[in-house]
Amino acid sequence: MNKKNQKEHMASSIVLNTPILVLFFLFITSCSFVAPAPETWTIKIYDTIPFANKLILGCNLNGFQYPPRNLEEGTDESFTVDVDLQKPGGNYVLTCTVQYTTGATARNFGSHVLFDYQKDKSRCRNKVCKWEVNEDGVVTCCLAE
């Protein structure tokens, strides 16, 4: 192959391969963009009632009803909320009814908002909100460490 043919072959090779190289570059750069990790919050509820046989939580997250959760003294239950998911109104609210039973006696502590994203995003640290239920029937916020 003479020099003129080599130059023409090289020029046509570059022209033919340029779209392939551009597509390869676009593919590589698009793969380097990784989606951010979801923003999740954890809500922990502790049973600190020393005499309760069973603490029962009935929780609802924006209309989604969780199955009832049973706790015993010194145990906790956690709920995880992914606030990246689109929500009409833009807020996430976890509400729980709390009651305990000791033998044949049952006591209802009522319904409490245990997570309100719009309020708790500035007061719960490390994306963890901690709550405890004590013997007075009061659900108190312990906040996160």
Q: What is the pLDDT of residues 61-81, one digit of tens each?
A: 998 999 999 998 889 999 999
Contact 133, 111 (CB under 8 A): no
Write down the pLDDT at residue 26: 45
What is the rounded average pLDDT for all residues in the chain?
78
* 128 beta partners: 42
Centre a 10 Å sphere on the Cβ of residue 97 and count the other Cβ atoms it contains. 15
pLDDT at 9 over 70: no
Query: What is the C-alpha to C-alpha distance for residues 95 and 82, in angstroms, rounded to an integer?
Result: 16
Alpha carbons 84 and 16: distance in angstroms, whole number: 44
> How far is Cα 139 from Cα 83, in angstroms, rounded to an integer?
24
Average pLDDT over residues 42-57: 86
Contact 42, 129 (CB under 8 A): yes
Instruction: Please name every residue paired with 65 in a beta bridge, in sequence order, or none if there are none.
Output: 60
Type of residue found at 75? T
Mean pLDDT across the stretch 119-145? 81
> CB atoms < 10 A from the CB of 3, how many?
7
Residue 136 tokens read as 């007075």
| pLDDT (0 to 100) of residue 8 | 56
CATH 2.60.40, applies to 39-142 = yes
Confidence of residue 102 (pLDDT cuts 50, 70, 90): confident
Q: What is the DSSP code (8-state) at residue 90?
A: S
Is the alpha carbon torsion for 20, 26, 27, 28 positive or negative?
A: positive
57 pairs with which residues across the strands?
Answer: 69, 98
Q: Which of 120, 53, 127, 63 has the alpha carbon at shortest distance from 89?
A: 63
